[in-house]
């Protein structure tokens, strides 16, 4: 369980904590290159992860917040439905601190099919990001308590 103070933190800190939580690896994860992340199980995300980190279970509200912080959704290719932000990279929390919530007139829409999304896999070959290291004493509450119960 994250500390109570986490719910009062801003999106980048909460999202980084979620992506580093070994209990949530089957629910939300970094893409292999570490430059975008994806919700793997929307139902579990809304029923377990959101209340734990955000104090609500409204997925649509979470997506609005993500968009308000300037994340872009990838709409095609192997990273389809993952989100990226140039300052939100795996293992680089110093960059997260530079992120700002955007005014409503500057919020972006999903990456259009005609937009050139960066090739994160090619970028990872020349500029790899740190891998996630998990705590050895962490329990996997979702796997044992939720996924087994619901499929």
Of 89, 114, 87, the closest CA to residue 101 belongs to 87
Of 124, 41, 115, the closest CA to residue 89 belongs to 124
In this structure, are residues 22 and 140 in contact, taking their beta carbons and an 8 Å threshold?
Answer: yes
The helix (H) or strand (E) run that includes residue 36 is strand 36-39
pLDDT at 150 over 60: no
Q: What is the dihedral of CA 45, 30, 87, 124, to 10 degrees?
A: -160
Tokens at 33, concatenated: 């290159």
pLDDT, tens digit, 9 for 90 and up, residues 29-72: 999 999 999 999 999 999 999 999 999 999 999 999 999 999 99
Q: What whole-number percentage of the chain has pLDDT above 90?
A: 56
Q: What is the value of pTM for the model shown?
A: 0.75
């Amino acid at each position: 369980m994250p500390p109570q103070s986490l719910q009062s933190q801003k999106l980048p800190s909460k999202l980084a904590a979620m992506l580093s939580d070994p209990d949530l690896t089957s629910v939300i994860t970094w893409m292999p290159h570490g430059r975008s992340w994806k919700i793997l199980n929307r139902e579990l995300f809304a029923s377990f992860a959101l209340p734990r980190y955000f104090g609500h279970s409204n997925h649509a509200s979470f997506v609005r917040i993500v968009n308000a912080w300037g994340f872009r959704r990838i709409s095609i290719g192997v990273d389809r439905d993952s989100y990226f932000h140039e300052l939100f990279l795996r293992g680089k929390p110093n960059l997260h601190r530079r992120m700002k919530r955007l005014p409503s007139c500057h919020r972006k829409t999903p990456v259009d099919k005609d937009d050139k999304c960066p090739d994160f896999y090619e970028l990872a070959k020349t500029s790899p990001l740190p891998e996630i290291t998990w705590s050895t004493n962490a329990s996997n509450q979702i796997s044992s308590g939720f996924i087994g119960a619901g499929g």
